[in-house]
């Protein structure tokens, strides 16, 4: 079974803190993604990566950065957390384009509250 593991299920941080959200997948997938889920807005893509050291902005990258030093690990970084970043964060991975037709495998999510 594909396993995508997010390191923290629940986090509470203060405004201005630096926040790291870690994600690890065990299926040797090339592609990894970070989404955030908010009521009524669905899942919105923050950043994605097609390979180690590569990253591309998604639809809402402002206030976030990412790191992919190893193939299996994709980290989301909030340099200075703000209250509007309170959300559910979902990591996903997939095989490369051409190897499948778009199915993403998601982690269980990290619910972040910024006070």
b (16+ CB within 10 A) / e for 6-32:
beeeebebeeeeebebbbbbeeebbbb
Residue 74, phi then psi, degrees to nearest 5? -135, 120
Is residue 107 close enough to count as binding another protein by CB under 8 A? yes
Instruction: Determine the size of the site formed for another protein (CB under 8 A).
Output: 31
Closest distance between another protein and the C-beta of residue 49, in Å?
Answer: 11
Shortest distance, CB of residue 15 to another protein, whole angstroms? 25
Among 40, 62, 69, 84, binds another protein (CB under 8 A): 40
Smallest separation, CB 38 to another protein (Å): 9
* Closest C-alpha to 55, from 72, 37, 29, 75: 75
**Among 8, 17, 43, 61, contact with another protein (rule: CB under 8 A):** 43
């Amino acid at each position: 079974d594909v396993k995508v593991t997010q390191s923290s299920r629940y986090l509470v941080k203060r405004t201005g803190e630096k926040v790291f959200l870690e994600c690890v997948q065990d299926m040797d997938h090339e592609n990894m993604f970070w989404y955030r889920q908010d009521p009524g807005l669905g899942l919105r893509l923050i950043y994605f990566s097609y390979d180690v050291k590569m990253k591309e902005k998604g639809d809402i990258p402002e206030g976030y950065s990412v790191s992919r030093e190893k193939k299996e690990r994709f980290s989301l970084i909030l340099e200075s957390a703000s209250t509007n970043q309170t959300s559910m964060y979902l990591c996903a991975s997939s095989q490369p384009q051409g190897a499948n037709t778009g199915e993403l495998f998601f982690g269980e999510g990290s619910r972040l509250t910024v006070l």
